[in-house]
Amino acid sequence: MNLVPIRRALLSVSDKAGIQELAEALQAISCEIISTGGTRKQLDNAGIETTEISTVTGNPEAFGGRMKTISFNIESAILFDRDRDAEEAKALNISPIDLVVCNLYPFKKVMEQGSDFETLIENIDIGGPTMVRAAAKNFKHVAVVVDPADYTELIAELKANNGALSYAFRQRLMAKAFNHTADYDAMIAVAMDKELGKQSLRLSFDNGLGLRYGENSHQKAVFYRETGDKHTLADMRVLHGKELSFNNILDIHGALEAIKGSTGVACSVVKHNNPCGLAEGKDQRQVLELAWDADPISAFGSIIAFNTTLTLDTVKFFELDNADKSLRKFVEVVIAPKIEADALEYLQLHKNLRVIELDVNDLKFNHDYRYLNGTLLTQDTDDILFDKMDSATDIQFDSTGEQDLVEFGLRAIRSIKSNTIVIVRRKDGCLQMLGMGAGQPNRLIATKLAIEKCKENLNRELGAQAISADAFISRELGAAVLISDAFFPFEDNVELAAAEGIRKIVQPGGSIRDKQVVETCNNLGVAMLMTGIRHFKH
């Protein structure tokens, strides 16, 4: 294990959480504790004996604390090679420091508080990163701890190894230390650029997870999480199933985006990163069935997400235990904030089905990033559904009575590739996406696809009802709402929708032909609502 006994430690921390407990553990193994400033004061007040750092450096703390730890004696005690340089260190009267515990001045905290430039400068740590990097470089002989979260494991290691630390533990701490100082310097560099009016961005990712494959089976793929972020996709809890692929991750994201912001019990069914089914209501099983029925063929091999605890009654919809295997519904991934034990047991009947716990409400991010061949695009997240709800036509659009349905449809188009048309309706007390046209370069084609999907679904739903198909479809489309992710450049979309029975349309507006489009609505008896917000997704 290549154990290193910890006989002498240097403690100098900005974040003092847990430092007393750690010092007590070091005291218990008769370790000399060297300390500085506020850290030493806290330990002394707790009755823990410390050595003032000035007795090691031979110099006082100076210049308002700017000079404390930077010295030949301190850096040498951390950095000299115990095997090669022992005799030289002895001749120079350098006693080794075996452990450095240091976290840096809170630059991020003061920056986020909007502090002035001088305060930012004073919160740039110099001595801390120097000690941390020296200890990390010499990890064969020295341990370095930069995160209070590691104190518990450090104390456990000391107890297990009679006051010593293993090579493997020191090596992990070393890697974390170098990442810590790299992120710290990157943050300062970005802040200094900002002071000069320059735009720069440095992102850090860690905990890479190898995936089954990339978009295609011949491509390798790795899944990283952004350093320091909490509640990310990487925090999903995989309870069952085979290894995730690149496409699974993209579709999981798409499924969660589709139900983000839902106020009721919601379910999305996603295929190739687009929701082919989406519903919202009060009963989870009913909502799943409505989402599935929007496109049962595309739902084969889909990713399904919920925003409420998943129950056994809901998952029995998949008929995984049906003796007739042809009736079992095949899905790739099921996601919910929590999955009840009996529901999990039932889902495990499918050995490869990925079952994941992740709460969409925990995923709150302010920016989107897109990496493009050595360049990076960044933008605010699309989290504003509408700017207004203005009825633009002679026939008034009931924006108050239909607001929940309109907002449901806007959340849908926000998560679907442009050009997008969705048609949404009320069904048995729920909100359902009845049909959609996605990813089309021509908006008219998107409108045609959405209407065709609606008619297909309605014909299947009609069954043996004592009403003609044309009358049933006309009635349902007449009560539905068609929503466009961007303005209509021409009147043809309205003419097509009206010819099929659509009587309510929502669009952002903003075209030079808005007036003609509204006039066409008036002539055809269609109510139109303008929202003022476009929802392109490329």
252 and 397 assigned to the same domain: no
445 and 304 assigned to the same domain: no
Give per-residue pLDDT as tens, 293-318: 999 999 999 999 999 999 999 999 99
State the chain's mean pLDDT as an integer.
Answer: 94
pLDDT of residue 67: 84
Q: Is the pLDDT of residue 211 over 90?
A: yes
38 and 171 assigned to the same domain: yes
Rounded Cα gap, residues 59 and 45, in angstroms: 23
CATH of the domain at 102: 3.40.50.1380
Whole-prediction pTM value? Answer: 0.87
pLDDT of residue 64: 81
Catalytic-labelled residue, pool 108, 137, 316, 329: 137
What H or E segment, with its residue span, contains residue 197? none
Give per-residue pLDDT as tens, 81-99: 999 999 999 999 999 999 9
Catalytic-labelled residue, pool 253, 272, 316, 329: 272
Give mean pLDDT, residues 497-519: 96
| Residue 218 falls inside a structural domain | no
CATH of the domain at 499: 3.40.140.20
30 and 175 assigned to the same domain: yes
% of the chain surpassing 70 pLDDT: 99
Q: Is the pLDDT of residue 464 over 80?
A: no
| Residue 326 falls inside a structural domain | yes
Q: Could you tell me the two tokens for 293?
A: 């029925």
pLDDT confidence tier of residue 1, bands split at 50, 70 and 90? low
| Residue 486 falls inside a structural domain | yes
**Burial per residue of 408-419, b for 16 or more beta-carbon CB atoms within 10 angstroms, e otherwise:** bbbbbbbbbbbb
342 and 262 assigned to the same domain: yes
Give mean pLDDT, residues 58-65: 83
328 and 408 assigned to the same domain: no
Please count the structural domains in the chain: 3
Q: Could you tell me the two tokens for 381?
A: 């997240």
| Residue 219 falls inside a structural domain | no
pLDDT of residue 420: 96
412 and 350 assigned to the same domain: no
Q: Kindly tell me the number of DSSP H helices and DSSP E strands found in the chain.
A: 19, 23
HEC string of 165-233 equals ECHHHHHHHHHHHHHHHHHHHHHHHHHHHHHCCCCCCCCCEEEEEECCCCCCCCCCCEEEEECCCCCCH
In the residue annotation, 253 being an active-site residue is answered as no
Q: Could you tell me the two tokens for 357?
A: 């716990």
110 and 25 assigned to the same domain: yes
Domain boundary (195, 225, 252) is at 195
| Residue 224 falls inside a structural domain | no
135 and 265 assigned to the same domain: no
User: Considering only CA atoms, which of 465, 468, 526, 452 is closest in space to residue 494?
Assistant: 526
354 and 388 assigned to the same domain: no
| Residue 371 falls inside a structural domain | no
Question: Strand, helix or coil at 403?
Answer: helix
Give mean pLDDT, residues 480-497: 96
Q: Is the pLDDT of residue 430 over 70?
A: yes
| Residue 205 falls inside a structural domain | no
Give mean pLDDT, residues 429-433: 97
pLDDT of residue 275: 95
φ/ψ of residue 62, rounded to 5: -140, 165
In the residue annotation, 180 being an active-site residue is answered as no
| Residue 413 falls inside a structural domain | yes
Rounded Cα gap, residues 415 and 400, in angstroms: 24
358 and 422 assigned to the same domain: no
Best-predicted range by mean pLDDT (36-45, 203-212, 520-529): 520-529
User: Considering only CA atoms, which of 270, 505, 275, 249 is closest in space to residue 412?
Assistant: 275
Show the domain range for 398: 383-530
